Amino acid sequence: MVGQNLFASTEICSYCKGDGYVQLLLGGSETCGCCKGTGKKPVKDV
Ligand SMILES: [Zn+2]
């Protein structure tokens, strides 16, 4: 497999897809509770 794996080397939050927020069904948006709005997948590696 040869290609540009941009998402492979970058920890993107799969919940908001890196947006940092999620669209609400009722309208508007809300800060992603998974990544706290950072858009990056939370790492628990200390
Ligand atoms: Zn997120």
Does 29 reside within a domain? yes
β-bridge partners, 12? 40
Nearest-5° angle of CA 35, CA 38, CA 4? 95
pLDDT for residue 11: 86
Which pLDDT band holds residue 45 (cuts at 50, 70, 90)? low
Name the token pair of 15.
């919940």
pLDDT for residue 46: 61
| Domain region containing 13 | 7-39
Distance 10 CA to ligand 1 centre (A): 13
Task: Please give all residues whose CB falls under 5 A of ion ligand 1, grouped by chain where several chains appear.
Answer: 13, 15-16, 32, 34-35
Number of compact structural domains in the chain: 1
Average pLDDT, whole number, for the chain?
A: 82
Mean pLDDT of 18-26: 94
Does 17 reside within a domain? yes
**CA distances for 43 relative to 2, 18, 26, 27, angstroms:** 27, 14, 30, 30
pTM above 0.85, yes or no: no
Does 27 reside within a domain? yes
Does 14 reside within a domain? yes
Asked if 30 and 20 touch (Cβ cutoff 8 Å), the reply is: no
Does 1 reside within a domain? no
